Amino acid sequence: MKIVFLVAAFLVSMGLQGLHAQRKEILLNADWQFRFSHQVEKNSPRRVNLPHTWNAQDALSGKLNYKRGIGNYEKTLMIPQEWKGKRLFLRFEGANNVADLFVNGFHAGQHKGGYGAFVFEITDNVVYGKQNSILVRVCNAENLEIMPLVGDFNIYGGIYRDVHLVITGPVGISLLDHGSCGVRLVQEKVTRKQASIKALIQLSNSTGTIQAAELKVKVFDGDNLVTETFAPISIQAVDNDTQALSFSIENPRLWNGVKDPFMYKTEISLWANGKLLDKIEQPLGLRYYHIDPSKGFFLNGEHLQLKGVCRHQDRPEIGNALQAEHHEEDAAIMAEMGVNAVRLAHYPQSEYMYDLMDRYGFVVWAEIPFIGPGGYADEGFVNTDAFKANGKLQLVELIRQHYNHPSICLWGIFNELSMRGDNPVPYLEELNSLAHEEDPTRPTTSASNTDGELNFVTDAIAWNRYDGWYGGIPANLGRWLDHTHAAHPELCIAISEYGAGASIYHQQDTIVKSNPASWWHPENWQTEYHIENWKELSSRPFIWGSFVWNMFDFGAAHRREGDRPGINDKGLVTFDRKVKKDAFYFYQANWRDDIPVLYLTGRRCTERTQEIQTFKAFTNYPEAELFINGASAGKAQTDSLHIARWSRVRLSHGINEVKVVAKGDKGEVTDSYICILK
């Protein structure tokens, strides 16, 4: 979420000289000196800009022992004399996974957890009117006190998100509330007729004495003021003095998913003696929803089939050190396919990514990195006080930092924990209670892959299933779902992961099931897998949501499969986002009816060995016609899965042009490719 900072010079330029906001923000991403902690010789540091990770090359090349240790980031910072009397903070949006801050050689703070924001106040650590040294020592080593302990993804080290210097007055909205903006907009009751909201505001006062002030909340629809409320308050001399202001909106315009992701703008300001002390803005997307164990997910009173995907935060060459344009591209590709729900796995992701989810209207599952072994060794839970405290801290940070995002509808507690060894259930119950204490308005959920009492802790539950990939056949998914629903009709059931690997370089003209552990992951088996799995999922209304694993290929250094080591290739889109695999268009044809969709599958299988072929097209038209070298192979009706099929089509030896044409209310569309019969 973006915090709006009003700087005096800006106010003058806007003709608002009477406002003297005391908050200013400076981006500190440029010109850091980086070295590993073992590089103690002179001249070892090199210049880097943030975001940065030191694992972009080694982890993504499939190196099993990629660097997991300490990296040092150093920078000098001029602190002007005129800042004396103000408060100075360093805000890190993410550093993986332990960060220790030193200012002028003195330790100024530590944060444990690789995926949330954190803030250190440095007011008393700096020397005014001089250059000050900033050293951040970041460690991504395995640590049994910090989530996650294991994971089927890379634990990239570094300061991989933005860093800001924030300057405020001595009295203002707190920056020290678990890395959050200091404001939670609690939607106590929302209907189409009225919304009742309580703003919980954390205030900070470093003067040493109680301060009188006035707190204001304004809500805007664009530039139009919808409502405002204010109250005189007394601010205690502490960093987090909680104040509450309640207000209501009559006949609200609701945040309604992809149909209408409308948000109000909320302005929270603090005044004293007619002068503005501090001000921030937060989105307010009003909505109400629930999950029914028999009928699924309902948004604003209407059933909404959640057609979801999962997303990891990494890219080739740069690892997890993403820029804004990378998040924007990912969200746009999801929207292009017709996604309306996203599981941002397996950890809190960039603040900007949640902003984009709000704007697109995606229903989001946000989670902490409490991750079990899946099919691998070691455990995701150790029954120690330090580990459990860290998990609770990361959960509170997740909720406080992202509370005001209307897209977030579920808090995720765990993924693929096992019941071997230490029993995680009592701790899961503590986490579940903590989530409800922090946020009584949102349900909790988890992603399981095992049986046991851990499946009955959260408000909703989901399972990671790979029927037809890691053994079995896709039809097993439907049988398992029906059995589980019948045995436990009270459970709100979803599928949190399902997917199959595919390389765009692995092509075959017959459909043969892949061996997931092999170096051969043909694209057409992934396509067939998704067709058959979606058939099972789409026909069962009690499933509250399903989430493809994964939207994009991602890095996993230990993987030895597919077309190269170090990559999990279950994405519907390649790691570099350049190629959308055939299965992408299957979902687009099924999930979008607002644009014409016609896609002829198998276009990358340019060399064919079988003279008689079956051709498929994914389309949201009622029928399509196939042409081989200009001659019609007939029209085919589209089935319930939006597939048009032509069986026993004969190719000519040599070059063949394969073309499909569809006509209808959306106009005429075509798709074609060339293949060679050897």
The catalytic residue positions are 416
Query: Measured between alpha carbons, how far is 617 from 376 in angstroms, rounded to an integer?
Result: 38
Map residue 539 onto helix, strand or coil: coil
Q: Do 620 and 596 form a contact (C-beta atoms < 8 A)?
A: yes
Query: Measured between alpha carbons, how far is 618 from 210 in angstroms, rounded to an integer?
Result: 67
Measured in whole angstroms, how far is the alpha carbon of residue 283 from the centre of its chain? 18
Query: Measured between alpha carbons, how far is 151 from 368 in angstroms, rounded to an integer?
Result: 12
The token duo for 214 is 């006035």
DSSP 8-state code for residue 232: E
Instruction: Write the DSSP string, 249-267.
Output: EESPPPEEGGGEE--EEEE
Instruction: Write the DSSP string, 15-83.
Output: T-TT-----EEEE--S-EEEEETT--STT--EEE-SS--TTTTTGGGT-TT---SEEEEEEEEEE-GGG
Closest CA to 95 of 70, 69, 75, 113: 113
Query: Measured between alpha carbons, how far is 569 from 169 in angstroms, rounded to an integer?
Result: 50
Map residue 678 onto helix, strand or coil: coil
189 phi/psi in degrees, rounded to 5: -155, 130
Burial zone of 490 (CB within 10 Å; 0-12 exposed, 13-18 middle, 19+ buried): exposed
562 phi/psi in degrees, rounded to 5: 70, -145
Residues in a beta bridge with 111: 99
Contacts of 515 (CB under 8 A, 6+ apart): none
Residue located via tokens 């550093």: 95
Q: Do 480 and 465 form a contact (C-beta atoms < 8 A)?
A: yes
Query: Measured between alpha carbons, how far is 488 from 472 in angstroms, rounded to an integer?
Result: 23
Closest CA to 148 of 357, 401, 458, 412: 412
Instruction: Write the DSSP string, 494-516.
Output: EEEEE----BTT---SS-----T
Q: Do 219 and 227 form a contact (C-beta atoms < 8 A)?
A: yes
Contacts of 302 (CB under 8 A, 6+ apart): none
Residue located via tokens 């989901």: 462
The token duo for 435 is 């989530």
Measured in whole angstroms, how far is the alpha carbon of residue 79 from the centre of its chain? 36
CA distances (Å), origin 667, targets 160, 468, 628, 662, 670? 46, 37, 22, 8, 10
Contacts of 292 (CB under 8 A, 6+ apart): 298, 492, 544
Closest CA to 91 of 177, 4, 199: 177
366 phi/psi in degrees, rounded to 5: -110, 140
Query: Measured between alpha carbons, how far is 486 from 542 in angstroms, rounded to an integer?
Result: 11
26 phi/psi in degrees, rounded to 5: -125, 125
Query: Measured between alpha carbons, how far is 309 from 588 in angstroms, rounded to an integer?
Result: 12
Q: What is the 3 state secondary structure string of 190-205?
A: ECCCEEEEEEEEEEEE
